[in-house]
Amino acid sequence: MKTITINTKPFNDQRPGTSGLRKKVKVFQTPHYLENFVQAIFDTQTDLRGGTLVLGGDGRFYNREAIQVILRMASANSLKRVLVGQGGLLSTPAASCIIRKYQTDGGIILSASHNPGGPDEDFGIKFNTPNGGPAPESVTEAIFQRTTSITQYDTVESQSIDIDTLGESILGNTTIQIVDSVKDYADLMMQLFDFERIRQLFDSGLFSMRFDAMHAITGPYATHILEGLLNAQPGTVMNGKPKVDFGGGHPDPNLVHAHELVALTSGSNAVDFGAASDGDGDRNMVLGRNFFVTPSDSLAVMVASAHLIKGYSDGISGVARSMPTSQAADRVAKKLGLACYETPTGWKFFGNLLDDRKITLCGEESFGTGSNHIREKDGLWAVLFWLNLLAIKQQSVETIVKEHWKTFGRNYYTRYDYEAIDKAAAEGLMDHLRNRLNHLPSQELNGYLVEYADDFAYTDPIDGSRSERQGIRIGFSDGSRIVFRLSGTGTEGATLRVYLEAYEADPAKQMQDTQSVMNNLVETALVLAEIEPRTGRTKPTVIT
């Protein structure tokens, strides 16, 4: 089969963000746009030539077309084998699982995670390294630099490859192997969790659950594992069929976008347990009956309870959290004598810590938790962890969390998101804050005494790499914190995230409403950052 070399010119907007390159579908459909980025991956990741690649995505609009482009280019670039999820579908955790299990030379994941899908919505692509994790900054920077000078890419002429039938086919000198999207991942979950114990929970008839797959990638995984292997009643999985536009919804598992699930866990006839995952399956939301578990609390409970879970019964080496995530896990780690690390936002920063076995569990406040079983956050894994814990403790979600607070204290926590604001205005707001940092310590702001104020920087303890300007932290003497950060996951304008945290050790004061507790801190943040005058926004897009 003849290789065809296509002349091209660089695009000036292909620097990957926090988790790959994300743009509107129409941008990726621009002639040569996707091809340039893929060729940059092949040019810089030379082990792929003669090697094996994992390929799949969350099934959003343009997923199937992009896979055909990548397969033709893989053949032209002398890859030996490509493992493709059946139908082009692989959750991000499953892709990491397959990369690690079959020791491939990396993977390309097609997803824009929790962003909406459809012809006028978002698409994304990222490269995962042979450890199964998102490419570190050194790799993404090399890919980006290659995109700035690229002049040609290689492909082959061929008809569309059948990606729906399990088995192998040959494209040039490359073997295309279509693999079961679910099996390897399900096998791994059975190694980590006591499926028999969880099955007994469902078989008891005393426990009810709903899992909202949000018409995204986890539908087939959740249906197979929850309803198939664990005997949950048919219909436990809601919105379980993946759709290219996620059924017109926003596949972000939070209290706003998963409102259908929230309603089912509310009221006198509420189900006992609710959970949801996002577009590509790496995020999770956990709900009890009339009770929301913050991602920060979820991680802390996992750290405190890991010894009860089959796959972690020998103990854990440590925990890491992203900087904006509440310090609840830190308090557990200190009490248990575990190492605890604070990293920038982005799952790639956990990779070296996991590979070096410095940590076993990790998480971030944006509904992501995971462990050393793969190198991505894992939504369904988190749900199974909670199910296993519920089966062991025979307590409600609410009781488990409140007992945790009595032991370790409660970190009240909330996040305000201002989405799609003017980028220049957002950057001006951050610069305004940076200019004030040196003058804030020892000042009193709305009754809060500033203890420290900095622009968070991180030195990786394994490879010594340095990441700066990762978010502005302002800490107060009573343990409260405000964090300001611009997110790298959006495709339009800028997203300003404001994270707020307050600590309460007294069990008698731990049952207050979060927003009422945080009102003064919120007001402090709004005034300090001059959010309304600088952005024109009178209220956030989403509060979680």
Residues 14, 32: contact at Cβ < 8 Å? no
- Nearest residue to 384 via CA among 203, 202, 259: 202
Helix (H) or strand (E) holding 44: helix 33-44
The DSSP line for 114-181 is TS--STTSEEEEEEE-TTSSBPPHHHHHHHHHHHTT--EEEEE--PPP--SSSEEEEETTEEEEEE-T
Among left, alpha and beta (phi > 0; psi -120 to 50; other), residue 469 is left
Buried b (16+ CB within 10 A) or exposed e, 305-322: bbeebebbeeebebbbbb
The one-letter amino acid at 34:
L
Q: What is the CA radius of gyration of the chain?
A: 23
Q: Which of 113, 277, 371, 487 is catalytic?
A: 113
67 CB-contact burial (10 Å; exposed 0-12 / middle 13-18 / buried 19+): buried
CA-to-CA separations, 365 to 96, 362, 371, in angstroms, rounded:
21, 11, 15
What does the CA dihedral 541, 276, 319, 465 come to, rounded to 10 degrees? -60
Amino acid letter for position 223 = T
- Residue whose pair of structure tokens reads 């096998």 in the numeric block: 187
Grouping H, G, I as helix, E, B as strand and the rest as coil, residue 76 is helix
Q: How far is CA 87 from the centre of its chain?
A: 23
Calculate the CA 437 to chain-centre distance: 30
The CB density around residue 22, as the number of other CB atoms within 10 Å, is 23
Question: Distance between CA 246 and CA 507 in Å, rounded?
Answer: 42
Closest to 42 (Cα-Cα) out of 133, 88, 134, 106:
106
Q: Is 366 noted as a catalytic residue in this protein?
A: no
Q: Is there a contact between 208 and 217 (Cβ–Cβ < 8 Å)? A: no
d(CA 460, CA 264): 43
| DSSP-derived 3-state class of residue 351 | helix
Under 8 Å between Cβ of 421 and 532? no
Catalytic sites, residue numbers: 113
